[in-house]
Structure 1
């Protein structure tokens, strides 16, 4: 873009909705089509047919691995799961400090410590191979960090990672201390794959902004984790289940939803800034939940159906359809994850998508530096006179 154009202020919509800020090869969301993809493949098809390691390789390398490449990549990443001694020794104090705020708050600090201990250097100063190595190390460490922080916060000892288990199986193993059942592993793996990336969401964009400054990879990830922790972003799946608890029984669905909508409250699990149709992730996760079955699934389906009808009635023209949060929470609950681990589990998946975006952003030396329109009191105002004491 010519420099004259670049220096001309452009009014953008609130929240940058619909504004294209760069080009990417990582993936995209097509909201009007209920479709999103990683690289050149449907994300939902990948979640249903491939392993997490397959998709991780795809996000970093731009192509799916063959059998030999997958075996080598799986071994390489599994070997990175154990934490450096300095990080491991600091986790008990981080867990104690984060008892009220949870594992995500501890993850921010633990990631910073990991980057300092491992000597992560600014992206601007290192080559592509070193950037990839740093990204692999950080991604492999996140599941170990969040499960250890969770267990320590509950008075339990961390469970050391196993290199013979897949990413998803090892995550559940480190969380519970028991080798998980295969159907639960597959359900969680599909969820993890489905949340690896999702366009220029708030956390991904945050990570890319930091990467554009040339900062080290962990600095980018810490910023992304901070963005994901917000209840309007990654903090929502547990709140969607809290909604089901608050409704309680089928006979209360209509009155509960009507009261919340008419009072201006948000219905967690419904509405999305991009999708104008059903969220494809929700459709996939609903299918997984229905395969497992049970009263929670039946109730969630009832709530979804009535909420769709009531939102169409009370918010005509708003296209407030179900999003990923409700059935993500249902699937994680069915697989035995405590609710305080829903957002950390989201982190354990999204760290791969963040890293792929950070690596791509590091190829561009242009810093992201937008402008703002000042709307305060007109300057310059005379300074007030301070009376002598």
Structure 2
């Protein structure tokens, strides 16, 4: 039976994540994503996805030290990054750099070390690129900081508060993995040919670059910037609904109830000692918008998705919108890598049929 875009076609069996859209649940392997985001670090969850079990103290130490060790770019990679044209997008830069990096043997059969090295280097590529475009000397990574602490340090140029680290770490954990989405599928298709690890990740980045997959948080920021104050929320949302405009950050192709990632981000933000003003606006707009959506579209199930509160987190951290998709990719590379490794364990090349029409 022909199904455009392979919609609802089961193409793989996976142990990596379980997305239950009607119930609004998401698991990484055997654990609920909320539990992982609340209780564990970026390093622990990344290890869990890549290895199938949470790390022991010794395993955590070895994994963490390996990430810290591989943050720096080689001289050749640094020089290539400097030479890339200014007009190249951040995702284009990431695609080019990943394809050129000198890492552990990335040929079939794959090694987990290839994944670790790429996960470690993406924050450095992203922040160095921003610094270069702004005419600043790139800030070198610090190996005395955790993965997320170091990422924020390189973005801001100074260490950030525990609350700010928690905000970004929660977001990165919640976006590590999400089933057979477009970029993950692209990675697995490339891996199924027994191509190299770089190529599989580059395929995923190319798919993530598309605005239908990786660009939604910017639209949420545009919406909240337009609303600006709580008093404007109802009138602006009503106008958009009357005009048939999409309300960015609401609704999801999979989830028919609230996106569990959005709920987890929201809970984390509301439990902070000092809620940023921008988050306070987002909370108010969510309440008003959901009420209006029930009135204007009673037959739909439209709730906040992860991009809505991702925008609140990234805006509060003063991260520029042109970094959003790259930041998302710096987290999702964990899931891509886990899927590539899983594909290699029981590989069958993807070769769907095409129906000829005249």
Same topology, TM > 0.5: yes
Q: Which residue of 2 aligns with 1:289?
A: 269
Query: What number of residue pairs does the alignment pair up?
Result: 356
In the alignment, structure 1 residue 105 sits paired with structure 2 residue 92:
yes
CA contact (8 A) 1:240 1:269 kept: yes
Q: Distance in 2 between matches of 1:349 and 1:281?
A: 14
Q: Which residue of 2 aligns with 1:278?
A: 258
Q: Distance in 2 between matches of 1:322 and 1:293?
A: 19
Q: TM-score under structure 2 normalisation?
A: 0.94
In the alignment, structure 1 residue 94 sits paired with structure 2 residue 84:
yes
- Offset at residue 45 of structure 1 (A): 0.9
Q: Spell out, residue by residue over 1:349-381, the C-alpha distance to the aligned partner (whole angstroms, 9 max, x if none).
A: 111111001111122331112123334xx3xxx
Q: Which residue of 2 aligns with 1:187?
A: 167
Q: Which residue of 1 aligns with 2:137?
A: 157
Q: Distance in 2 between matches of 1:288 and 1:209?
A: 36
The change in CA–CA distance for 1:261 and 1:206 in structure 2 (over 3 A counts) is farther
Q: Distance in 2 between matches of 1:15 and 1:260?
A: 29
In the alignment, structure 1 residue 26 sits paired with structure 2 residue 16:
yes
- Offset at residue 53 of structure 1 (A): 0.6
Secondary structure, counterpart of 2:319 in structure 1: coil
- Offset at residue 314 of structure 1 (A): 2.0
Out of 269-278 and 80-89, give the one that drifted further.
Answer: 80-89
- Offset at residue 279 of structure 1 (A): 0.6
In the alignment, structure 1 residue 225 sits paired with structure 2 residue 205:
yes
Q: Which residue of 1 aligns with 2:2?
A: 11
Out of 290-299 and 77-86, give the one that drifted further.
Answer: 290-299
Q: Distance in 2 between matches of 1:365 and 1:75?
A: 31
- Offset at residue 121 of structure 1 (A): 4.4
Q: Distance in 2 between matches of 1:295 and 1:182?
A: 18
In the alignment, structure 1 residue 177 sits paired with structure 2 residue 164:
no
- Offset at residue 18 of structure 1 (A): 2.5
Secondary structure, counterpart of 1:233 in structure 2: helix
In the alignment, structure 1 residue 243 sits paired with structure 2 residue 234:
no
Q: Spell out, residue by residue over 1:189-247, the C-alpha distance to the aligned partner (whole angstroms, 9 max, x if none).
A: 11111110011111111111111111111111112112222233221112211111122
Q: Distance in 1 between matches of 2:209 and 2:330?
A: 13
Q: Spell out, residue by residue over 1:43-62, the C-alpha distance to the aligned partner (whole angstroms, 9 max, x if none).
A: 11111110111011111110
Q: Distance in 2 between matches of 1:70 and 1:327?
A: 29
In the alignment, structure 1 residue 134 sits paired with structure 2 residue 114:
yes
Q: Distance in 2 between matches of 1:295 and 1:118?
A: 42
Give the number of the structure with larger relative contact order, counting CA–CA contacts within 8 Å between residues 6 or more apart: 2
- Offset at residue 254 of structure 1 (A): 2.9
Q: Distance in 1 between matches of 2:245 and 2:351?
A: 34
Q: How does 1:315-334 map to 2 (within 5 A)?
A: 315-334=297-316
The change in CA–CA distance for 1:227 and 1:261 in structure 2 (over 3 A counts) is farther
- Offset at residue 11 of structure 1 (A): 2.3
In the alignment, structure 1 residue 336 sits paired with structure 2 residue 318:
yes
What do you get for the CA RMSD once the two structures are aligned? Answer: 1.7
Q: Which residue of 2 aligns with 1:3?
A: none
- Offset at residue 294 of structure 1 (A): 3.1
For structure 2, the 5+ residue unaligned runs are none
The change in CA–CA distance for 1:79 and 1:36 in structure 2 (over 3 A counts) is same
Q: Which residue of 2 aligns with 1:365?
A: 347
Q: Which residue of 2 aligns with 1:63?
A: 53
CA contact (8 A) 1:258 1:310 kept: yes
CA contact (8 A) 1:95 1:106 kept: no
Out of 280-289 and 88-97, give the one that drifted further.
Answer: 88-97
